[in-house]
């Protein structure tokens, strides 16, 4: 039987290396806040035929001198195609910039008959307020999860189980954030959606293992030490955790492949970080949360489930 407890520091070092690498990536690339969080301008154009979004993105960036997020949509009422250009920034695009962009698009896609449909401005204050509310949602979700773990596993020291579940969740959220930075994905409401999804996924795996520990504590109390019981519980649930994670990974992977094939940017920006987040969440639940909880519970020669 593999001992997760004895090898816990090896896995901790792996996580620390990933966190340091994430900090380095953040220092190199910086934050790429999208328009929902930073404010800026949203330009919507109608067009005919097909447009190469990669080429259009290059044209927008070279014309405006800043990066933008492009998305192709379809107006179901008129069956007309739209090109939505979102440019994040503290100030709205000037009239000159908008005119230059329209001219550049028409010159490069003359056969598509591109026309301006509408222009909207997102105030920076509203963007920051949206960001704050999104982060607050993540914090509230984490606190409620910890409270739930605390109550459910009060017979095996609920408070400490809740705290170590929280630490594992923080580990998952931070690494998922670094994934967004590494992929150069604009930080918008998709980030919040992925983080909330990962919180739910990770804690589910952790709860399953804690539940098995609680069951084994009734059946095997006095027959083995707590670290041995934790190792036994993790090994008993290992196949279940990996199988569930692989199934979820494949399902999200199919969605990512679909989005990649049809060039659906919003789904791509959600699915790829979510796939990586599933791996991170499963990893922390198995290799970090309960082994280090067991170390805390046995500190100073303790052998029971008292905090």
pLDDT for the residue 16: 97
Give the pLDDT of the chain (307 residues) as one tens digit per residue: 789 999 999 999 999 999 999 999 999 998 888 887 888 888 999 888 888 888 888 999 999 888 888 888 877 666 678 888 888 877 778 888 888 999 999 989 988 888 888 888 877 767 778 888 888 988 898 888 888 888 888 777 778 888 899 999 999 999 999 999 998 888 888 888 998 899 888 888 889 999 999 888 887 666 788 899 999 999 999 999 999 999 999 999 999 999 888 878 788 889 999 999 999 999 999 999 999 999 998 886 666 555 4
The 10 Å CB-count burial string (b at 16+, else e) for 77-93 is: eeeebbbbbbbbbeebb
pLDDT tens string 219-248: 766 678 889 999 999 999 999 999 999 999
Residues 6+ apart with CB under 8 A from 2: 231, 235
pLDDT for the residue 222: 65
pLDDT tens string 119-150: 888 777 677 788 888 889 888 988 888 888 88
46 has which bridge partners?
82, 115
Q: What is the pTM of this model?
A: 0.81
C-alpha dihedral (182, 187, 189, 195), degrees to nearest 10: 40
Rg (CA), the chain: 24
pLDDT for the residue 302: 67
Three-state SS for 33?
A: strand
Q: What is the CATH number of domain 40-122?
A: 3.30.70.3400
Domain boundaries, the chain: 8-31+126-301, 40-122
CB atoms within 10 A of CB 23: 13
Rounded Cα distance between 289 and 163, Å, is 9
Looking at the domain 8-31+126-301, which fold is it?
A: Multidrug efflux transporter AcrB transmembrane fold (1.20.1640)
Do the domains 40-122 and 8-31+126-301 match in fold? no
């Amino acid at each position: 039987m593999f001992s997760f407890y004895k090898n816990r520091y090896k896995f901790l070092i792996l996580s620390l290396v990933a966190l340091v690498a994430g900090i380095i990536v953040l220092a190199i690339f910086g934050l790429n806040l999208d328009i929902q969080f930073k404010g800026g301008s949203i330009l919507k154009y109608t067009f005919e035929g097909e447009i190469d979004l990669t080429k259009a993105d290059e044209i927008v960036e070279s014309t405006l001198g800043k990066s933008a997020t492009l998305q192709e949509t379809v107006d179901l009422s008129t069956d007309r195609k739209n090109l939505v250009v979102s440019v994040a920034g503290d100030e709205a695009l000037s009239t000159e910039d908008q005119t230059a962009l329209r001219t550049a698009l028409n010159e490069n896609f003359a056969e598509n008959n591109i026309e301006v449909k509408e222009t909207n401005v997102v105030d920076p204050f509203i963007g920051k307020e949206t960001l704050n509310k999104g982060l607050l949602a993540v914090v509230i979700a984490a606190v409620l999860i910890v409270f739930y773990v605390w109550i459910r596993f009060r017979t095996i020291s609920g408070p400490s189980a809740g705290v170590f579940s929280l630490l594992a969740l923080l580990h998952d959220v931070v690494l998922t954030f670094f994934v967004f930075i590494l992929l150069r994905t604009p930080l918008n409401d998709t980030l919040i959606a992925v983080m909330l999804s990962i919180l739910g996924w990770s804690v589910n795996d952790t709860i399953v293992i804690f539940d098995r520990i609680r069951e084994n504590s009734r059946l095997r109390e006095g027959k083995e030490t707590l670290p041995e019981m934790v190792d036994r519980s993790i090994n008993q649930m290992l196949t279940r955790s990996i199988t569930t994670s692989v199934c979820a990974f494949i399902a999200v992977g199919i969605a990512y492949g679909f989005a990649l094939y049809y060039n659906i940017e919003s789904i791509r920006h959600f699915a790829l970080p979510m796939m990586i987040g599933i791996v991170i969440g499963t990893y922390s639940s198995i290799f970090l949360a309960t082994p280090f909880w067991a170390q805390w519970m046995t500190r100073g020669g303790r052998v029971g489930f008292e905090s």
